[in-house]
Amino acid sequence: MAFFFEDPNIEPMTETASKPTKAPKSLSEERVIVAARKLFMERGFSAVSGDLLCREARVSKTSLYKYFGDMNGVLQAVLVDEGDMYQLDIDTQPASEAAFWNTLTGYGQNLLRLLNQPFCLNMDRTLHEEARANPELIRLFYDNAYGRGHRDITALLEHAKTEGYLTSEVPAEDLADNLISMWEGLRFIRARLGLTDTPFEDPDRWAAQCVETLLGRPQKTGPR
């Protein structure tokens, strides 16, 4: 990962099928991505030139063009890596009703702990500033970050409906959209605007409260 971020407070979700392993990056690639991420956060995408990036990363222009083609290629690589950092493994087919509710609430808690990290806020602010100038690359980040999370929650809710754990008539895709929006809510917007440094003071309580408010989580569930 470009940021080498690990948070011991974010617990892994239940085990899922192994994901394809990406080819390891060369030292030059890693240097470029780490340096580019730093410069993009500090100056914005459009203000970072190839010459500046090469100096910061301590690589030649030949290496830059070899691995990335151009600055858009660098930006794409950074956004893919950043999007990967938003991924939280989730079992989309839990075997019991209790496991479904635990999985859904646990995903929200882990997501909010992740969004409390400064790198998430910094990336979010940078992307909002650059959205008009780089719409296709912003879409790439969205699909690689929030899009995948939305698809996982949708699959989990569809499974719950099929198994009878959830009886809502609202389409699973819409429920997933509603729930993710509730989890982030005005708290993350306030943080984006610089009104607070920590959007979620109690991620566990807030994530569980949103699930119960939207889906009416039962007061009692059977064993996992």
pLDDT at 217: 67
Cα–Cα distance for residue pair 100/161, rounded to 1 Å: 11
Q: Quick check: 91 and 16 in contact, CB under 8 A?
A: yes
- Looking at the chain, the whole-number percentage of residues with pLDDT higher than 70 is 84
Amino acid at 8: P
pTM over 0.75: no
pLDDT tens column, 120-142: 888 788 778 777 777 877 787 78
**Count of positions (residues) in the chain:** 224
Q: pLDDT: is 180 or 14 the higher one?
A: 180
* DSSP symbols for 61-120: HHHHHHHHSSHHHHHHHHHHHHHHTT-----SS-SSHHHHHHHHHHHHHHHHHHHTSHHH
Residue 138: its pLDDT value, please? 79
- Domains of the chain (ranges, CATH numbers): 27-80 (1.10.10.60), 85-215 (1.10.357.10)
Calpha distance 184→93 (Å, rounded):
24
Model confidence at 6, in pLDDT bands (50, 70, 90)? very low
Indicate if the pLDDT at residue 216 is higher than 70. Answer: yes
